[in-house]
Each structure stands twice: as structure tokens, then as C-alpha cells.
A = this chain, B = another copy of it.
């Protein structure tokens, strides 16, 4: 973060993207807050052009919504939005788990098992290692998707996992939930190792849907208190469906 040296290999657009995305994921920008290009540009120490590029990308990934001439606002998530995302994840990742069970070789299973094992200590040192645990969890799911061998499903599922509200939700996990989650992972490794597609599918579906339950249980005030004043708690519904 203190590395503002000029020898930055990444493009300015990439820096802007990471900067804004992290600020959203970490909750520094409140849901519903309007992001002006100028301010973001100043913060990331680039001009407005790469910031615009970053914002378009973030919009396509679901982090912000932007309307012509009105700019970008941090996207809020209604109950239904969250349910839709988890439902889609459950559909895709359970199918992927089945494919993984079919395709996995010995090395794949070995790797998965190692990853699952590595998560256990992270789960115990609960309160502060949320980020590390979340990262490890993402890597585990990513590995299963990779083994499944469908790039489209991999992209979609990973994008969903990266949406900010997921990371926040891990903070709400009770130790009991974490234990069940770890158990799920072990079961997944076993099922995939045994080549039992149906079992892998079912476990993955349950794994994700139960996570959805926990998250939704945290209630509508899932907005994390960020490092800044939180300019007036926004109404729970920023984008209402136009009834269509």
C-alpha cells in the first residue's frame, strides 16, 4: 500500500480497479454511496480515464451500478439478489462438483485434501483470520471448479464468490457453522476421491445453500461498519426492480 513507486508493472487501470474494488469489498464505501470519478482518480493516483475503465469492469462484475450521466453507486443487495446469487452458485458448483468427481485424478484429490486440511487451523484462530480463511475457502472451491474442467462455470462461480457481501458474511459465522463447513469440505474430498458424482453434487449443494441460510440469518443490517462515518444508513432498497 505504501508502494507508490513509479516502477509499478501493472497498468494504471489495473491499479484503479484493485483500489476501488478493495474499498468496496472492505466496506470503506458504504452501500448506495456515489463514487465520483475524480475522487477515485485522486485516491488511486491516476487520471480519470483508467478509473472509468475500472468502473465499467466493476459494473460488469456486479460491484457497482452505473447509469449514463449519473455515475456509479455501490451496489446494494436485496434479500432476493442474495438468494439469486446463492441459488445460481449452488446450481453451478454442485454440477461442477459432480464433474470433478468424474474427472479428478489422484494428484487432484491429493491437492484438494491438502487444501481442506490447511483450512482447519485457520478456522480455529477464528476472529482475526477471517480474511485468510475466506481466501483458503475460495481457493478450495476454485480448485474443484478447475478440476471440473468447464471454464464458463469456473468464471461465473468465481465471480460470484468475489462479490463483496460474501466476504463480509464470513465474519458472521459461528464456530458451529465453521465446523460444519469444514466437515462439508472433507466430505467433498472423499466423494470426489471416490468418484461418486451424486454424492459430491449433493454435498456441494447443501454446503452452499446452508451458507446462504447463515448469511441471510445475519439480517438486513449486513452493512459492515466501515472505517468512515457511514453517511446515513441507506434504505435497504436502492435498486428496485422496475416491475417489468
Instruction: Report A's interface with B, CB cutoff 8 A.
Output: 11, 49, 52-53, 56-57, 60, 68, 81, 84-85, 87-88, 91-92, 95, 146, 150-153, 156, 160, 244
Counting every copy of the chain, the complex holds 2
Q: Which residues of B have CB within 8 Å of A92?
A: 88, 91-92
Report Cα–Cα, A57/B3, bound state, in Å: 30
- Excluding A11-B68, A56-B57, A88-B150, 14 further A-B contacts by CB distance (< 8 Å) are A49-B49, A52-B53, A60-B60, A81-B151, A85-B152, A87-B152, A87-B153, A88-B152, A88-B153, A88-B156, A91-B92, A91-B153, A146-B244, A156-B156
Q: Which residues of B have CB within 8 Å of A11?
A: 68
Q: Which residues of B have CB within 8 Å of A91?
A: 91-92, 95, 153
Report Cα–Cα, A189/B72, bound state, in Å: 40
Report Cα–Cα, A138/B91, bound state, in Å: 22
- If the complex has contacts A68-B11, A95-B91, are A84 and B150 also in contact, measured as CB distance less than 8 A? yes
Q: Which 8 A-B pairs have the closest CB atoms?
A: A88-B152, A60-B60, A84-B152, A84-B150, A91-B95, A88-B153, A84-B151, A85-B152
Q: Which residues of B have CB within 8 Å of A88?
A: 92, 150, 152-153, 156
Minimum C-beta distance from A107 to chain B (A): 13
Q: Which residues of B have CB within 8 Å of A53?
A: 52-53, 56
B151 in contact with A87 (CB, 8 Å) = no
Residue of B nearest to A10 (CB): B68
With a 10 A CB-CB cut-off, give which of A11, A52, A152 has the most chain B CB atoms: A152
Report Cα–Cα, A18/B108, bound state, in Å: 43
Q: Could you list 28 examples of A-B contacts with CB < 8 Å?
A: A49-B49, A52-B53, A53-B53, A53-B56, A56-B56, A56-B57, A57-B60, A60-B60, A81-B151, A84-B150, A84-B151, A84-B152, A84-B153, A85-B152, A87-B150, A87-B152, A87-B153, A88-B150, A88-B152, A88-B153, A88-B156, A91-B91, A91-B92, A91-B95, A91-B153, A92-B92, A146-B244, A156-B156
Q: Which residues of B have CB within 8 Å of A153?
A: 84, 87-88, 91
Residue of B nearest to A96 (CB): B91
